[in-house]
Amino acid sequence: MPRLSVCLITKNESRDLARCLASVRGLADEIVVVDTGSTDDTVAIAQAHGARVLHHAWRHDFADARNVSLDAATGDWVLVLDADDEVPSDTAAQIPCLLAEAERARPPIDGLTMLYHSPMPAGEAVAFTEYPVLRLFRNRPEFRFRQAIHEQVLPAIQAAGGRVDGCALRLTHYGYLRPTVQGGQARSQRDREIIEGVLRREPDNAYMWFQLGALALREGHPGEAELYLERASRLADRLGPTERALTERLLSGLAYQAGDARAALSHAEASLAAEPGERNTLGLLSWAQAHVALGQRAADDAAAAARPDLPPQAYSEALIRLDVSRKHFAAARRGYAQLSAATDLATAARDQMAHNRQLCEQLLGPGHDAL
Q: What is the pLDDT of residues 221-262, one digit of tens each?
A: 999 999 999 999 999 999 989 899 999 999 999 999 999 999
Q: Are residues 200 and 348 in the same domain?
A: no
Asked if the structure places residue 185 within a domain, the reply is no
Indicate the residue type of 39: T
* CB neighbourhood size of 76 (10 A): 17
Q: Are 85 and 17 in contact (CB under 8 A)?
A: no
Q: Are residues 173 and 298 in the same domain?
A: no
The pLDDT score that the predictor gives to residue 303 is: 83
Q: Are residues 23 and 95 in the same domain?
A: yes
Task: Give the total number of structural domains in the chain.
Answer: 3
Q: Are residues 231 and 265 in the same domain?
A: no
Order of strands across the sheet that contains 30-35: 52-55, 30-35, 4-10, 77-80, 128-138, 111-119, 164-173, 85-86
Q: Are residues 337 and 364 in the same domain?
A: yes
Asked if the structure places residue 267 within a domain, the reply is yes
Q: Are 181 and 38 in contact (CB under 8 A)?
A: no
Position 185 confidence tier, pLDDT thresholds 50, 70, 90: low
Q: Are residues 303 and 260 in the same domain?
A: yes
Q: Which of 152, 177, 202 is the last residue of a domain?
A: 177
Q: At CA 116, angle to CA 174 and CA 177, rounded to 5?
A: 20
Q: Are residues 229 and 244 in the same domain?
A: no
Q: Are 356 and 332 in contact (CB under 8 A)?
A: yes
Q: Which of 336, 338, 234 is nearest to 292 (CA)?
A: 336
Q: Is the pLDDT of residue 150 over 50?
A: yes
Instruction: Output DSSP code: residue 220.
Output: T
Q: Are residues 165 and 34 in the same domain?
A: yes
The pLDDT score that the predictor gives to residue 151 is: 94
Indicate the residue type of 311: P
pTM of the predicted model as reported, rounded to 2 decimal places: 0.82
Asked if the structure places residue 184 within a domain, the reply is no
Identify the weakest region by mean pLDDT among 74-78, 163-167, 183-187, 275-279: 183-187
Q: Which of 131, 147, 177 is the last residue of a domain?
A: 177
Q: Say what percent of the chain tops pLDDT 90.
A: 76
Asked if the structure places residue 48 within a domain, the reply is yes
Q: Are residues 77 and 216 in the same domain?
A: no
Q: Is the pLDDT of residue 180 over 70?
A: no
Asked if the structure places residue 187 within a domain, the reply is no
Q: At CA 166, angle to CA 108 and CA 27, rounded to 5?
A: 80
Q: Which of 361, 334, 335, 339 is nearest to 350 (CA)?
A: 339
The pLDDT score that the predictor gives to residue 370 is: 43
Q: Are 352 and 316 in contact (CB under 8 A)?
A: no
Q: Given phi > 0 = left and psi -120 to 50 = alpha, else beta, which region is 50?
A: left
For 17-35, the pLDDT digits (tens) are 999 999 999 999 999 999 9
Q: Average per-residue pLDDT in the chain?
A: 92
For 197-223, the pLDDT digits (tens) are 999 999 999 999 999 999 999 889 999
Q: Is the pLDDT of residue 42 over 70?
A: yes
222 lies in which domain range? 192-236
What CATH number is given to the structural domain containing 123? 3.90.550.10
Q: At CA 194, angle to CA 188 and CA 192, rounded to 5?
A: 30
Q: Are residues 253 and 228 in the same domain?
A: no
Q: Are residues 115 and 263 in the same domain?
A: no
Asked if the structure places residue 146 within a domain, the reply is yes
The pLDDT score that the predictor gives to residue 190 is: 85
Q: Say what percent of the chain tops pLDDT 70.
A: 94
Asked if the structure places residue 13 within a domain, the reply is yes
For 88-137, the pLDDT digits (tens) are 999 999 999 999 999 999 999 999 999 999 999 888 888 999 989 999 99
Q: Are residues 33 and 91 in the same domain?
A: yes
Asked if the structure places residue 182 within a domain, the reply is no
